[in-house]
Amino acid sequence: MRVARTPCETIDSAGSHALAAPVHGPHPAFALVLYEYPFHEGIRTMLRLEHLFERLRLLAAREEAMDHHFALATIFEIMDVASRADLKSDLLKELERHRALLQTYLGHPGVDAASLDQWLTGLEQAFDGLNQLQGKAGQALTANDWLMSIRSRISIPGGTCAFDLPAYHAWQQKPAGERQHDLASWVATLAPLAGALRVLLGLLRDSGRAQRMIATGGQYQQSLPQGKTYQLLRVRLDGAGGLVPEISGHRLLVSIRFMRADADGRLRPASGDVTFELTLCA
């Protein structure tokens, strides 16, 4: 449930321009596709990590050795993305900022007390877990020479063949339950980072309110109010139309152009009117 907060939206002052990343999910009435586009480098990193954690969750739950191979590859990707020196401190600052902000709503008659308490508890748990994490996310795994030997070769095409890494090949022949147990212990070292991302991105998405919009002739522009820092734009549209939103923007303006693939797979501007949902979050 929403705490009484104003909707927020994010645009990068650099005026970035790229295709939005799709987030697929069920919708109660239509087969819709959700695209999220970050306009801030910190949110961009958080979304990348969230994407990797979701992939890891799906792969680790399966039983095939090949799935577990790509689960390990995903763990190493998470370690690479999370290696930025200031990531942990930035997330802790964001958790503390949100906690301080939400505490100002305590006792406010227009706020759902149960929902507020749930968010505050989640923030405190995420802060404590991340704060107790030693070093960067995944640093504990760097002491495992066996894992690091795999990491050093997994980016080489065919570099993890049995003759290159016989010990890794032997691990892949173990029963699925044993492999899943090992994966769970390695994933646990990354859990505080995943928890912090879940809370922060949940609050960010919860801050916005979807609005029904029409892109006349396949194009849409909206001016943004001055004095606000925007972070995330969300576009939801009917996937049956085969449309892809191309988003650009800066701190005062957001622009969306809807594209459709031609017979050769090249994206071309759509010419008709397009109805979609737009959510801006801060």
DSSP per residue, 17-49 = EEEPEEEE---SSS-EEEEEEESSHHHHHHHHH
Q: Please determine whether the domains at 17-41+208-281 and 46-200 fall in the same fold group of CATH.
A: no
- Identify the band that residue 249 occupies on the pLDDT scale cut at 50, 70 and 90: confident
Dihedral-angle region of residue 15 (phi above 0 means left; psi in -120 to 50 means alpha; beta otherwise)? left
In the chain, where do the E strands start and end?
17-19, 21-24, 32-38, 211-215, 219-223, 232-238, 243-250, 253-261, 267-269, 274-281
- More confident site: 163 or 229: 163
Q: Tell how strand 267-269 and strand 253-261 pair up.
A: antiparallel
Q: pLDDT tens-digit profile of 91-148?
A: 999 999 999 999 999 988 888 999 999 999 999 999 999 999 988 888 999 999 999 9
Q: pLDDT tens-digit profile of 15-50?
A: 333 445 555 444 444 589 999 999 889 999 999 999
For residue 104, the number of C-alpha atoms closer than 13 Å in the C-beta half-sphere is 7
- Altogether, the residues listed in the chain come to a count of 282
The whole-angstrom separation of Cα 154 and Cα 152 is 6
What CATH number is given for 17-41+208-281 in this structure? 2.60.440.10
Which residues have C-beta within 8 Å of that of residue 82, sequence separation ≥ 6?
49, 136, 137, 138, 190, 193
CATH architecture assignment, domain 46-200: Orthogonal Bundle (1.10)
Query: Could you state, in order of their start, the residue ranges of all structural domains in the chain?
Result: 17-41+208-281, 46-200
**pLDDT, averaged across the chain:** 89
- Identify the band that residue 230 occupies on the pLDDT scale cut at 50, 70 and 90: confident
